[in-house]
Amino acid sequence: MNIQAQKEKHIMYKNGMPYKKLLLMIVTSFIFMYILMYAMVDKFSNVVPNVNQFYMAGLMTMPMLLIELIIMGGMYGNKKLNTGLIIAGLIGGFFFYVCIRQQAGVTDKPFLRSMIPHHAAAVLMVKKASLKDPEIRALANQIITSQEAEIQQMKAKLEALKK
């Protein structure tokens, strides 16, 4: 490596450029994961932002941070900062896991907002599955009927709670 390239590399690392890109990658990944989790929803009207999607996006993002730092550690020259970020990633992952498992902050409205896309995912799976067995198809039809009715009930309750 020539002297000019070494100077440029030193300036880049001194200015924290790899860490800025890491932050951008993690934030962008979080946003994409949050949005892409709605791929399972049967129709756009059942896309309802909710805290559980937030927790899941966070839970999926934390391992990405850890994997990036472990596999691409050579790009990130500050070992103390790397250690701190790994600890933060582990704590963050544990935090999001506990929030999901304990349903932290999930009261009436957040519960309904979380359940609408969940039920809509069941409807999508049933409608798109290639079911052959008559008993399973009958069960699938019951699922569609019940889940769609419950979605409407939850939407109505959310509207009532706004008043």
Cα dihedral 34, 35, 38, 43 in deg (nearest 10): 150
Q: In angstroms, rounded to a whole number, what is the distance separating the alpha carbons of residues 90 and 88?
A: 5
DSSP H helical ranges for the chain: 3-14, 17-36, 51-71, 79-102, 108-128, 134-162
Predicted confidence (pLDDT) at residue 8 exceeds the cutoff of 70: no
Nearest to 65 by CA among 85, 79, 91, 95: 85
pLDDT tens, 66-103? 999 999 988 998 999 999 999 999 999 999 999 999 99
Predicted confidence (pLDDT) at residue 2 exceeds the cutoff of 90: no
Q: Do residues 96 and 63 lie in contact, with contact meaning Cβ atoms separated by under 8 Å? A: no
Confidence of residue 163 (pLDDT cuts 50, 70, 90): confident
Predicted confidence (pLDDT) at residue 11 exceeds the cutoff of 60: no
Q: Check residue 133 and give its pLDDT.
A: 97
Q: What is the mean pLDDT of the chain?
A: 93
The mean per-residue pLDDT over the stretch 26-35 comes to 98
Q: Measure the CA angle with vertex 128, ends 124 and 133; round to 5°.
A: 120
Q: Check residue 152 and give its pLDDT.
A: 99
Q: What is the pTM assigned to this prediction?
A: 0.85
Predicted confidence (pLDDT) at residue 51 exceeds the cutoff of 90: yes
Predicted confidence (pLDDT) at residue 12 exceeds the cutoff of 80: no
> Which structural domain, as residue segments, surrounds residue 14?
3-162
Number of domains within the chain:
1
Cβ neighbours around 77 below 10 Å, total: 16
Q: How many residues does the chain have?
A: 163
Q: In angstroms, rounded to a whole number, what is the distance separating the alpha carbons of residues 86 and 90?
A: 6
Q: Check residue 17 and give its pLDDT.
A: 87
